[in-house]
Chain A
Amino acid sequence: MEQQETIKNKTMPFKQQMHVLKRILKYAHPYRFQFAFAIGLSIVLAIINAILPRIIQVFIDDHITPGAATLSTIIFFASLHFGVTLIRMVVWYFELYIFNMASEKTVKNIRESLYTKLHSLGMRFFDQTSTGWIITRATNDTEAMKDFWNVFLTIMQGVFGVVISLGAMFFLDASVAIWILLFAPVLLLVIRFYQVYSSKTYIEMKSKLSSLNTKLAETINGMSIIQQFRQERRLQKEFEETNQSYYDSRYSMVRINAILLSPVINFLYTLAVVLILAIFGVNALQSPVEVGIIYAFTSYANDFFRPLTRLMDSLSLFQDGIISSSRILTVMDNEEYVPEQEDNPDATIEIGKIEFKDVSFSYDGKTDVLKNINFTVNPGETVALVGHTGSGKSSIINVLMRFYDFQSGEVLIDGRSIKEYPMRELRQKTGLVLQDSFLFYGTIKDNIRIKNDQIKDGEIIKAAKFVQADQFIEDLPGQYDAKVVERGASFSSGQKQLISFASTIVRDPKILILDEATANIDTETEALIQEGLNRMRKGRTTVAIAHRLSTIRDADQILVLDNGRIIERGSHDELIASGGKYKDMYELQNIGLQLS
């Protein structure tokens, strides 16, 4: 995250900007013909723009001035002008439409590539990166790319406008056109000035706006605390300051625009007109001058200067685009992939025997969170993992689910290394029930099926019946088609658990991995959940992070973990008999009961 922060607050060196640009342009590659076509049209447009004043110039110089204009020539020139205008209209429409669609599709391409990339990344990435950060990359940063492509169009239009109007001036009268060229260095200077000052202020303004909005959001979210502590006044004052400082920087932005943007371009244009009139006027003092050409020149001068305002204005968007691109690319460059499998297509999980042989595992490559773990779970048996937070229970599940790759030792399923199974096979045959059940927007059915369309409605109902979720589901309006709103807010945590049980059981996994919830659930659903867990375990190899007494007592084997090691193992009775730590705590709890 630190890296991204620095990108935000500093302007990148030019070289790096170009590098980012080059890489992000690759996503436009599939649409290069559309882009090329649109650019071709914008050249045509610039040429048409140069032709229109020519028509009027020729009309004036060849027909009006000599007094040779007949009604039919007048009609001819008026119609010619209008005809070219019609072409201009059509070309312009398609230029805009085709370019915008091409950029829209490029954004789609970037989005989909980014999203596909995200799904190829391992849990490590998701555990380490804040959800908000990832979401912003996939939505806002990709959306910002649209403005970015538009900047190119604006720049292109500007450059073509400048070059072609200049060319037209040279074509008309090179000696005068050279004088207009004098403006070029001045313009470059203005653009450079504007860019330097505006980009600084623009970045400042944006970061102030974002801190303003953060502050606002934070106040709204923390309002009860603020009011409870009676800090309204103080925060109002703080907000006032932030608000003022945003206003100040917006005001300086207004000032920079007022000094260096359209007023200055307009000023230069008028000076160019002065120059043109001066040259032609001085010439006219010596010899007659065709007047239409003066009109044409002033008109070209307009074409020359006009696009520059927009061009300069969009420079800040260019910066935004580069920043967004570089953020998108940091995701694309991430290499925290899902652990690699040495796919052996024949490998299938048949009976569900699990063996951990001398497994060591570390998240950061330095401190081992699992140290030489050895255990075997026979088909159909249950092993309960017991130990305090940080003892390594969750890490065993992370290894077994292949969320993370382990460093040494072996994990075998049915005698074969877990790495040999194709990921699909592993996912199908092992069912993980998470501590906090997550529901997706959609229907109950959708949440049991979880995007697997091969699961039939009948199977869904059967699974729900099996875990006894059918009782409450059938009371819902619409039953299995009942709406589930965001994150399942309308269901109790117990009901959510039951739905997630059903989604696991509908896939009929050979191996069940349970991360039991610690939170107390209301007594009625608690009974259903207990029963559901028992039913699910039957006939399946189960590894459970256990909090419920029933799960622990029923386990064929209990592994007591401490600091990444298994310090005791055995069945409940064996552990009690052996008189170790497990017994200590069991006794303690009995004494507690006797006391009461």
Chain B
Amino acid sequence: MDIFKRLGWFFRREKKSYMIGIFSLVTVALLQLIPPRIIGIVVDEIETNSITSQSLTFWLGILAASAVGQYVFRYIWRMRIWGNAAKLEQLVREQLYNHFTSMDSQFFQKYRAGDLMAHATNDLRGLRMVAGGGILTMADAISVGLTTLLAMIFLVDWRLTLLAVFPLPLLAITSRILGRKLHLRFKDAQASFSQLNDKVQESIQGVKVLKTFGQEKEDIEEFKIQTDNVVAKNRLVYKIDSLFDPAITLIMGVSYFLTILVGGILITGNEITIGDFVTFINYIGMLVWPMFAIGRLFNIIERGSASYDRIENLLREESSIVERDGSIETPINGNLDFDIKKFSYPDDETVTLQNVHFKLNKGHTMGLVGKTGAGKTTILKLLLREYDAYKGHIQYGGHDIRDYTLNALLQQVGYVPQDNYLFSTTIRDNIRFADPTMPQSVVEEAAKLADIHEDILNLPNGYDTQVGERGVSLSGGQKQRISIARAIITNPELMILDDSLSAVDAKTEESILSGLKRKRRNQTTIIAAHRISSVMHAEEIIVVEQGTIVERGTHKELLELDGWYKDMYQQQQLEQKLEGEDI
């Protein structure tokens, strides 16, 4: 019941709506009592021959009126209560979404995308059940249960009522117990299904390997083991699931048995009329649902509150990246001074960066090379303020980057990440991601600089071509160039290419780099790369190894140094030529 308190903010917000809804529910509960009673009365009048056309018309009139009334109030409560449930789902989904967008990268490492999606779908559904089904069940069970019970006692006979409803609490208990058991077994079944999912996913992704080794038959056998497992787990589910209706039948059967027995005796003793008896039997039928629903209510609440726990946990997480009070709002400008004494990722003891120091003057280009995992991307992440906790400082134009507002810093940085993530929209909107109001001419200019304009024109719908999951599939090189265009378009003070030319050929790389050089004569650029050719024209190149700088200088100086850089350069020259790109 705690969940209702925790969702209090929402119930208060929709107070009026819930009050109307619950009022309608109670009204329906009362109106529902009319038909059985009128059936009983008419039966009695017929039985005692006291029926007149007048009385018949009267009773039928009331009955018809109750039908109309029920319809109207049922409509109202459904709209209110189910509508509110949808509203709650919408609100919390929005809260979650807005919260996600304000979280730092640490958050997204802690919770994997799949988990977050699960919270935003399954847990929201659980919550909707509480606000809809939960409220409905509670209000309904109480109002229908209570009014029907009272009607049975006062309109028919209290002794009969006491005896006949005696087995009914069993309904609540049964539905609670069965519901719990079912839930556990259902979870097992779900787990077996997700195992099957994993299996299919892996085999389809690795289908080439399976074909290579000719192991299709064996793989099908393995799949069959999984489907058998799914069937076995679901068998356990059905064993319980199929019990619900029969269990209700049994308990109701006991009630009917008692009703016929005691009712029969009471009629013969002239204590109640036949009409009362008929009314009573109909009333008992009406009690099934509320009693059963009480049991279900507990399960809904249990699951809903677990869901809300998980959602609240997510909402409680805080980003470690915060803007300080009185942050500088003027956009970054000037020279970059990067001086990190020591940096470790949160919850990780290994030192990722140590004594990395470089100065980059406005208008210069710096190259960053080194093996995978040497720390290149980490350096860039610190520049982008993905992590704030380090020893040392990073200054831009003489001020610590942590003293700028995020807008002042990030809007002036054009970052092209390693994984070229494009959104499911048109190519145009992907390029002008930073500002969807930019005109086509600006988009085209950026595309031309990134050497992707021609490629785009060759696509079926040009700049209107949809990309991403449901759109055309682009090559890695095309995606990289679109990401470059996306970063160039804002004409950033600092441009960062994080190994973003790896999938384009040497000629294209050359043309993009020289284009950037021309366009960005007075702006700063950092290029991290595997390929030496991407950085060889930079004013300074630093070689990172195990989180620290091991070589630095211009291309010429580094070759003379005769170290890792030179080795790499020679090896790459050879291999690149042999791949025959110039043939």
Contacts and interface: CB of A to CB of B under 8 A. Distances in A.
Contacts of B105: 224
B224 A589 contact: no
B204 A135 contact: yes
A521 to B, nearest CB: 9
A584 to B, nearest CB: 8
Interface in B218-249: 218-220, 222-224, 227-228, 230-231, 234-235, 238-239, 241-243, 245-247, 249
B90 interface: yes
A131 B200 CA distance: 10
A251 interface: yes
A381 to B, nearest CB: 20
A531 interface: no
Nearest to A281: B56
Contacts of A388: 505, 579-581, 583
Contact of A123 (B211, B411, B468): B211
A104 B569 CA distance: 61
B60 interface: yes
Contacts of B47: 65, 291
Contacts of A123: 208, 211
B209 A593 contact: no
B201 interface: yes
A291 B41 CA distance: 11
Given A71-B265, A97-B242, A438-B206, A224 B253 contact: no
A78 interface: yes
A225 B212 contact: no
B51 A285 contact: yes
B274 interface: yes
B461 interface: no
Nearest to B468: A218
B213 A67 contact: no
Contacts of A345: none
B235 A81 contact: no
A582 to B, nearest CB: 8
Contact of A277 (B38, B205, B212): B38
Nearest to B200: A138
Given A218-B424, A271-B67, A403-B211, A69 B82 contact: no
B212 A401 contact: yes
Contact of B46 (A257, A280, A548, A586): A280
Given A85-B252, A112-B223, A282-B56, A59 B264 contact: yes
A362 to B, nearest CB: 20
B101 A219 contact: yes
Given A64-B264, A386-B578, A596-B569, A254 B78 contact: yes
B250 to A, nearest CB: 5
Contacts of B253: 81-82, 85-86, 88-89
B514 interface: no
Contacts of B197: 135, 139
Contacts of B78: 254, 257-258, 263
A230 B64 CA distance: 62
Given A78-B261, A119-B220, A277-B39, A266 B98 contact: no
Interface string A312-338: 000000000000000000000000001
Contact of A116 (B71, B101, B220, B249): B220
B277 A298 contact: no
A108 B582 contact: no
B200 A451 contact: no
A86 B257 CA distance: 11
A284 interface: yes
Nearest to B96: A216
A235 interface: yes
Contact of B238 (A97, A130, A452): A97
Given A74-B261, A221-B113, A101 B235 contact: yes
A556 B558 CA distance: 37
Interface string A451-464: 11100000000000
B371 A522 contact: yes
Contacts of B89: 247
Interface stretch (A14-22, A163-171, A236-244): A236-244
A240 B213 contact: no
A172 B427 CA distance: 72
B574 A450 contact: no
A201 interface: no
Contacts of A112: 220, 223-224, 227
A54 interface: no
Contact of A86 (B68, B116, B204, B250): B250
Interface residues of B, number: 146
Contact of A522 (B207, B372, B569): B372
Contacts of A438: 205-206, 208-209
B122 to A, nearest CB: 11
Interface in B499-545: 505, 530
B196 interface: yes
B274 A139 contact: no
B249 A88 contact: yes
B188 to A, nearest CB: 14
A386 B580 CA distance: 7
B444 to A, nearest CB: 19
A561 B479 CA distance: 27
Interface string B68-92: 1011001100110011001101100
Given A263-B71, A451-B215, A592-B573, A229 B277 contact: no
Interface stretch (A184-192, A350-358, A411-419, A426-434): A426-434
B326 interface: no
Interface in B395-436: 406-407, 410-411, 413, 415, 417, 421, 423-424, 433-434, 436
Contact of B566 (A79, A221, A596): A596
Nearest to A105: B231
B239 A452 contact: no
A115 interface: yes
Contacts of A377: none
Contacts of B258: 78
Contacts of A226: 101
A291 B49 CA distance: 11
A588 B582 contact: yes
Interface centre among A93, A289, A434 (most CB of B within 10 A): A93
Contact of A228 (B74, B209, B384, B505): B384
Given A243-B90, A589-B574, A108 B250 contact: no
A104 B234 contact: yes
Nearest to A298: B39
Contact of A588 (B51, B252, B569, B577): B577
22 contacts: A78-B257, A92-B246, A100-B242, A112-B224, A135-B201, A218-B424, A218-B469, A219-B97, A224-B108, A225-B421, A229-B434, A229-B486, A230-B434, A243-B90, A254-B79, A284-B45, A291-B278, A388-B579, A434-B208, A520-B372, A552-B578, A567-B583
Which 6 pairs across A and B sit closest by C-beta, in order of nearness? A427-B214, A85-B253, A74-B264, A270-B67, A96-B242, A258-B78
Interface of B: 35, 38-39, 42-43, 45-47, 49, 51-53, 56, 59-60, 63-64, 66-68, 70-71, 74-75, 78-79, 82-83, 86-87, 89-90, 93-94, 97-98, 100-103, 105, 108, 113, 116-117, 120-121, 193, 196-198, 200-202, 204-216, 218-220, 222-224, 227-228, 230-231, 234-235, 238-239, 241-243, 245-247, 249-250, 252-254, 256-258, 260-261, 264-265, 267-268, 274-275, 277-278, 281-282, 285, 371-372, 384, 386, 406-407, 410-411, 413, 415, 417, 421, 423-424, 433-434, 436, 468-469, 473, 486, 490, 505, 530, 559, 566, 569-570, 573-575, 577-583
